[in-house]
Amino acid sequence: MKPVVTRALFDQVMVPNYAPSATIPVRGKGSRVWDQDENEFVDFAGGIAVSCLGHCHPALVDTLKQQGEKLWHLSNVMTNEPALRLAKKLVDNTFADKVFFCNSGAEANEAAFKLARRYSFEKFGQKKSKIIAFEQGFHGRTFFTVTVGGQAAYSDGFGPKPQDIQHVPYNDLSALEALIDDDVCAVVMEPLQGEGGIVSPALEFVKRVRELCDSHNALLVFDEVQTGVGRTGELYAYMGLGVTPDILTTAKALGGGFPIAAMITTDAIAACFKVGTHGSTYGGNPLACAVAETTFDIVNTPEVLSGVLEREQWFRDGLEAINSKYKVFSEIRGKGLLIGAVLNEDYKGRARDFLVASADQQLMVLVAGANVVRFAPSLIISKEDVLEGLARFERAIASIVS
Ligand X SMILES: Cc1ncc(COP(=O)(O)O)c(C=O)c1O
Residue 284, interface with ligand X (CB under 6 A)? Answer: no
What residues contact 358, with CB distance under 8 A and at least 6 apart?
Answer: 364, 365, 373, 392, 393, 396
Q: Which helix (H) or strand (E) covers residue 35, if one does?
A: strand 32-35
Residue type, 201: P
Residue nearest to ligand X (CB): 105
Give the distance from CA 61 to its chain's centroid.
22
Say if residue 273 carries a ligand binding annotation.
Answer: no
Residue 140, interface with ligand X (CB under 6 A)? Answer: yes
**Contact string 31-50 vs ligand X (x = CB under 6 A):** -----------------x--
Shorter beta-carbon distance to ligand X: residue 236 or 347: 236
Residue 236, interface with ligand X (CB under 6 A)? Answer: no
Residue 195, interface with ligand X (CB under 6 A)? Answer: yes
Say if residue 142 carries a ligand binding annotation.
Answer: no
Helix axes 286-299, 302-326, angle to 10 degrees: 80
User: Least distance in Å: CB of 3 to ligand X?
Assistant: 27
Say if residue 237 carries a ligand binding annotation.
Answer: no
Residue 251, interface with ligand X (CB under 6 A)? Answer: yes
- Choose among 106, 168, 181, 158: nearest CA to 134: 168
Q: What secondary structure does DSSP assign to 152-171, as a single string?
A: HHHHTTSSSPPSSEEEE-TT
Shorter beta-carbon distance to ligand X: residue 102 or 287: 102
User: Least distance in Å: CB of 319 to ligand X?
Assistant: 22
Other beta carbons within 10 angstroms of residue 373's beta carbon come to: 30
Q: Residue 239 burial by CB count (10 A; 0-12/13-18/19+): exposed, middle or buried?
A: middle
Angle in degrees, CA 205, 207, 208, rounded to 5: 65
Shorter beta-carbon distance to ligand X: residue 60 or 111: 111
User: Least distance in Å: CB of 227 to ligand X?
Assistant: 7
Please say if 223 is a catalytic residue.
Answer: yes
Residue 110, interface with ligand X (CB under 6 A)? Answer: no
Residue 294: helix, strand or coil by DSSP? helix
Which of these is catalytic: 128, 222, 223, 315? 223
Which of these is catalytic: 41, 101, 138, 375? 138
Shorter beta-carbon distance to ligand X: residue 139 or 311: 139
Which of these is catalytic: 252, 315, 329, 385? 252
Answer for which of 190, 246, 293, 312 binds ligand X (CB under 6 A) is: 190
Report d(CA 220, CA 211) in Å as an integer. 10
Report d(CA 69, CA 192) in Å as an integer. 39
Residue 255, interface with ligand X (CB under 6 A)? Answer: no
Please say if 252 is a catalytic residue.
Answer: yes
Task: Return the active site residues.
Answer: 138, 223, 252
List of residues contacting ligand X (CB under 6 A): 48, 104-106, 109, 138-140, 190, 194-195, 223, 225-226, 251
